[in-house]
Amino acid sequence: MLENKTVLITGGTGSFGKAFTKAVLQHGLKKLIIFSRDELKQSEMVQKFPDDRIRFFIGDVRDRDRLYRAFDGVDIVVHAAALKQVPSCEYNPLEAIRTNIVGAANIVDAAIDCGVERVMALSTDKAVNPVNLYGATKLCSDKLFIAANSYTGGHKTRFSIVRYGNVVGSRGSVVPLYLRCKAEGRSYPVTSPNMTRFYITLPQAVQFVLDRLTDMSGGEVFVPKIPSMNIMDLKHAIDPNGSVEFIGIRPGEKLHELLISPDEPYVREFDNYYAVLNAPAADSLPHNFQYRSDTNPQKLSSEDLELAINFDQIPSIV
């Protein structure tokens, strides 16, 4: 479906954006626009992806007028730009609101008025029954995109959402931190030995977005069927002998995560994903269905994690 299309990705210089760029350049798209506010990262991507189909557009999703300019002639938008760090959002709440909520509203307006065909927004498990500001802003963002399908009128724009858990190895995630702890011989900070998280790799996340772009109708929240991991199993996979420092659950963190809440009544199941809908379907799952990281039947042991993650290809962080 990317054949001869113009695709724009917001936050295109982030971890997902780079993996997405690498994947879509293998298709016959007409143009790929990288929309982000970081000129240094854009210049680095120019060197990494010397492809004349790529255009680099400096801008911020908070800037409505800039989005209108960027969306001119665009067929597909993937919205990956967000403030994502839980502690940072807790400390800078208005900044998170301006980027994650106001930015989403700007994208809705620009996409409809510029005639974009499809918009896929990336969400997070933290938007389900949120307990931190990041999750709350992403919940608001999700509601804006779902509601936007009612505003298109005679326009052709469709909006859907992909919701998944922690991306292993992405910037700011625990794996690069633990790799640095291993390299420096430091103790591994662990919030709770019982903590669980959903697990997805960047290539899996990118492929899931591409697949759902193909079959989206508008208004769905797509949730991949992905495994869960325990934080201690992850630490053991990286370094079975390293010492652990238990630091306690930080403000805004959950012990376990939800990808589908029992309060979301209309859920359809497919082979490798779920679709959360706004209206009942004949084959909806029972109303009390939930998808939790601790009760997920797919669980990865430390041995599974060693096989699944190529730690040598993940850069550590300070």
Question: Is 126 in the active site?
Answer: yes
How far apart (Å, rounded) are the C-alpha atoms in residues 305 and 149?
A: 39
Tokens 């939800």 label which residue? 258
Tokens 């930080």 label which residue? 250
Q: Which of the following is catalytic: 18, 84, 126, 138? A: 126
Name the amino acid, one letter, at 245: E
End-to-end CA distance of the chain: 40
Tokens of 89: 């959002």
Q: How do 221-224 and 273-276 pair as beta strands?
A: antiparallel
Tokens of 299: 């669980």
Tokens of 83: 């403030």
For residue 236, the SS3 value is: helix
Indicate which residues carry an active-site annotation: 126
